A and B are shown apart, each in its own frame.
Chain A
Amino acid sequence: MTWLAWRQFRANAALAALATVAVVVVLLATRDRIAELAGQDLPTGYKSLQLLGTALIGTPAVIGAFWGAPLLARELEMGTHRLAWTQSITRHRWLATKLAVAGLCTVIVTAVFSLVFTWWSQPLDHFGNRIGTANFGQRGIAPIAYALFALALGTLAGAVLRRTLPAMATTLVGFFLVRFTFQLVVRPHLLAPDTATLPNNLFGQREGQPGVSGGWIMSSKTVDAAGHALTNTQIDQRLAAGCDARRETAIGELARCADRLGIHDVVKWHPADHFWPLQAGETAIFLAFTAALAVGSFWWIRHRTA
């Protein structure tokens, strides 16, 4: 069965190998330039990073749509499942083998992308962060879990819809929906964020602000000594009333005044060392989704398909 599964998949694998080589070559060629930009022109460097990161976000979706969705849908469309399922092999073993071949290729491709992307963006990591939403999902182990999830989603969609194109569309929409809902709603709560208490940054004017860097900021608010949150207007009023100082006043004086009044910032954030715990949590959850979808596919072809 492995031979048949590979024979059916090998054109996909060849295409994926080409795409992987192309991406790796582009990254190898541009790595020096990124290192250069990191030293001179950080904004352009970040723009490149974002561009590449965005392109790679789509990798799992493409895998789900082009490998997962046709895996069963094409067989069902052409009627070849009736040929395959009446050989001397159970359809569960047949599907397990097909999924194993596609899954293995998925792991290889996404792992290579993740490694190369991590290496490529390293020069920028000294200045930015790798935990923020721009590229958290394209590095580490999470992208592998995303891609396996997309593959399983496509497979089940193909089994249920029995047609390749609708299954591909469903997979694309479904994957991005889950992926970004998860990023917005679940990921921040996978791990309790740290709370940092910092001197007020005075609308970004305070110099030498220690701040939080290399981390993913969840929320930031300015509070008074009693811990009540302050709006910008209230901060202005407090500063004006409390120390005869305004925004126009010399920053150093204003800073001392704010500190004396007890006005400070409270920041909830995930520091850089939360990267691996967050990656592990997210990977585990997406692998659980993957398992559930795969079980759904096995059940569906056993009981709902002929």
Chain B
Amino acid sequence: MTALATDDVGKRYGRRWALRNCTLEVPEGRVVGLVGANGAGKTTLLHLAVGLLEPSEGAITVLGGRPGAGADQLARVGFLAQDAPVYPSLTVGEHLRLGRQLNPRWDRDLTDGRIARLGLDLGQRAGKLSGGQRSQLALTLAMGKRPELLVLDEPVSSLDPLARREFLGDLMELVAEHGPTVVLSSHLLSDVERVCDHLVVLAQGQVRLEGPVDELLASHRVLTGPRRDTRSLPSGQHLVQESHTDRQTTLLVRTTEPILDPRWTVADIGLEELVLAYMSRPATDGPAAELAAVPS
């Protein structure tokens, strides 16, 4: 079953489209990194997935249901919103009580154990917690309901490097132990690289690239050679990015076939360069997912 599927989804705020022609399919059991510049539509897509927003056009399916369609659907999806909102005047313990009372599948052992391990004081008001502690509390709430899909919106962007590392390590432990599908957005590629095995690149409200990380890396090659025209590439090679100096041409191509032309020096590409190449491509008219689709 697919954890998250969107079919030509668009979301409009007034006259501005925050997300357009978004078509993607995330299989269950993955840890999906959703990357894109600020304003690319990441938060909008996540809010659609957890049912906070309704699409202006197209259809979105989460775990086979319509997001936010009812208490049952809500129970299957955990969400950690950007900046990890908590009630400042409620204590840590009261937040756990909140989670317990509002979620029928609440896992008390998991949450109590986690809070104890984190060393959080149950009587402490959430407004007095540090940014890292607040994120940990919010993650505990999201995990406590034992979701099948866990959605995290920029979970680490406000944390310092140490807290970030701890948070992601913790997240990976939870995922390994309890196995929900995870979709997390970030504009920090290093974090995505560390934890994600599936990637979705958004730019200007459109999906630019989507697929399993290893397949994406395996299907892209950097070609360097003497300067030449790029119109004569073989049909199996799709040009993603090109740059030229007076004497040299560098190309990023997507292909699953071996590069036979001996004039090219062929190199693998790193995740960061790959993402940046797709993010900097100009917007296309048609559905971007088609361009980005990885031949299987």
Contact = CB atoms under 8 A, between A and B. Distances in A.
A7 interface: yes
Given A4-B101, A85-B52, 9 more contacts: A3-B98, A4-B98, A79-B85, A80-B85, A82-B52, A83-B85, A86-B50, A86-B74, A88-B74
B14 to A, nearest CB: 12
A89 interface: yes
Contacts of A84: 102
Contacts of B72: 88
Nearest to B87: A80
A306 B74 CA distance: 15
A90 B52 CA distance: 11
B34 to A, nearest CB: 17
Contacts of B74: 86-90
Given A3-B101, A87-B102, A306-B52, A79 B83 contact: yes
Interface string B36-65: 000000000001001111100000000000
A88 B145 contact: yes
A83 B105 CA distance: 17
B86 interface: yes
Interface string B87-116: 111100010011101111100000000000
A7 B71 CA distance: 22
Interface of A: 1, 3-4, 7-8, 11, 78-80, 82-90, 93, 303, 306
A90 B51 CA distance: 10
Nearest to A8: B87
B201 interface: no
B88 to A, nearest CB: 7
Contacts of B35: none
A89 B85 contact: no
A78 B88 contact: yes
Contacts of B70: 90
B81 A88 contact: no
A82 B77 contact: no
Nearest to B78: A86
B167 interface: no
Contacts of B101: 1, 3-4
B63 to A, nearest CB: 14
B103 A88 contact: yes
Nearest to A85: B52
Interface string B153-177: 0000000000000000000000000
B202 to A, nearest CB: 17
A303 B70 CA distance: 15
A4 B102 contact: yes
A86 B77 contact: yes
B141 to A, nearest CB: 7
A1 B52 contact: no
A306 B153 CA distance: 14
Contact of B54 (A1, A79, A87, A303): A303
B120 interface: no
Contacts of A80: 85-87
B97 A3 contact: yes
Nearest to B127: A78
A227 B74 CA distance: 73
Interface residues of B, number: 37
3 residue pairs, one from A and one from B, having the closest CB atoms: A88-B75, A87-B102, A82-B81
A80 B50 CA distance: 15
Given A4-B102, A89-B71, A90-B74, A83 B52 contact: no
5 contacts: A1-B101, A8-B87, A86-B74, A87-B103, A88-B74
Contacts of B90: 7
B274 interface: no
Contacts of A89: 71, 74, 102
A82 B142 CA distance: 11
B79 A86 contact: yes
Contacts of B81: 79, 82-83, 86
A83 B139 CA distance: 11
B47, B74, B103 interface centre (most CB from chain A within 10 Å) = B74
A6 to B, nearest CB: 11
A14 B94 CA distance: 19
Contact of A78 (B71, B78, B85, B138): B85
Contacts of A87: 74, 98-99, 102-103, 145
A7, A84, A86 interface centre (most CB from chain B within 10 Å) = A86
A253 to B, nearest CB: 78
Contacts of B141: 83
Contacts of A1: 101-102
Contacts of B138: 83
Nearest to B142: A86
Nearest to A86: B79
Nearest to A3: B101
A89 B68 CA distance: 9
Contacts of B79: 82, 86
Contacts of A4: 98, 101-102
Contacts of B75: 88
A82 B138 CA distance: 11
A62 to B, nearest CB: 21
A88 B104 contact: yes
Contacts of B102: 1, 4, 84, 87-89
Contacts of B88: 78
A7, A84, A87 interface centre (most CB from chain B within 10 Å) = A87
